[in-house]
Amino acid sequence: MPDLYTFGEAMALFLTSDTDNVLDARLFTRTTAGAEGNVAVAVTRLGMQAHFYTHLGSDQLGTTVIQDFLAEGVDVSAIKRVPEFTGTMVRNPGTSRPVENTYLRKGAAASTMSPADIDLGVLGNSRWVHTTGITCAISSSACDAVRFALESSRALGVQKSLDLNIRLKLWSATDARQALEPLARDLDLLIGGEDEFSAVFGESDPLKAISLAESRGCKTVLMTNGAGPIRYSIEGQYGEITPPQINAVDPVGSGDAFTGGVIAGILGGLSTLQAITQGSISGARVASQFGDWAGLPTGQNGRIDSTIVAEMTGAAQ
């Protein structure tokens, strides 16, 4: 029985390694990226079992993406290979200049996902289902798959989460709100940045936006704001925590690490607040290293190794 069932687009990532600017870079490091896959790896690193589904092209990049997940112990046995190409992203690390992504994903393999691809047998036997707004953005059929997965989770009594994860290079804020606002309800966990909550709920006041999410049946609501305090509401109880302060060298992927740390912690028996704190440690550690997976902490039974916790909390002092 998987602890986590998730699905979305996995991409080959080419990250500049000789400069912080794609325009003058000559050397790139290839890794794998994609929000849901990042969460699957984060959960697996913490000793849980994750099932990740996607569509990949029948090309060499698709094969390398699968190999990367297999090396992490993620269950990718159901991944489907299709004629379309494997999605690709090229970017700089963001150490001395803002991160600038170049996407090669319109019409890519993952955009062919649909509700028919959601395996209710696996989903129904999982402990948690995780979805994101990015999958909703890549195609209407993939968005339908997210809707179907969340509806099925409710019907089957499986815990579920949605990370709003709005990428304006993939769609407009208007389209994002139209698709995500109906999905942001009756969730065990709703996650998003302050600007994403504002876009989806049409409310610029963070506390009012969180209250709106609560009124729609979201049990735990998490609102991030970069390196600033993480606002949370757990069963209507509001609070804030400050993530570890680190030297951020590559912020991309830190949000997925945060999400994975929270989900693994809850499944591992931590209180929700303890799980949020664990997620903040995981996110900070990823931001302090290059690549979406490089800094993901290890652990057992859903909990980060105590030595890593000491390392990161010591950095905050």
Taking a C-beta distance cutoff of 8 angstroms, is the pair 33, 253 a contact?
A: yes
User: Distance (Å, rounded) from C-alpha 282 to C-alpha 262?
Assistant: 9
Q: Which residues lie closer than 8 Å to 97 by C-beta, 6 or more apart? A: 20, 21
User: Distance (Å, rounded) from C-alpha 118 to C-alpha 36?
Assistant: 14
Element at 189 (helix H, strand E): strand 189-193
Task: Tally Cβ neighbours within 10 Å of residue 104.
Answer: 16
Taking a C-beta distance cutoff of 8 angstroms, is the pair 74, 50 a contact?
A: yes
The CA-based angle 156-162-164, given to 5 degrees, is: 155
* Tokens matching residue 163: 């990370």
Per residue, what are the HEC states of 214-280?
A: HHCCCCEEEEEECECCEEEEECCEEEEECCCCCCCCCCCCHHHHHHHHHHHHHHCCCCHHHHHHHHH
> The sheet that has 28-33: what strands, in order across it?
28-33, 11-16, 88-91, 101-104
Q: Which of 118, 120, 128, 124 is nearest to 49 (CA)?
A: 128
Relative to beta strand 88-91, strand 11-16 is: parallel
Q: Give the active site residues.
A: 256
The amino acid at residue 8 is G
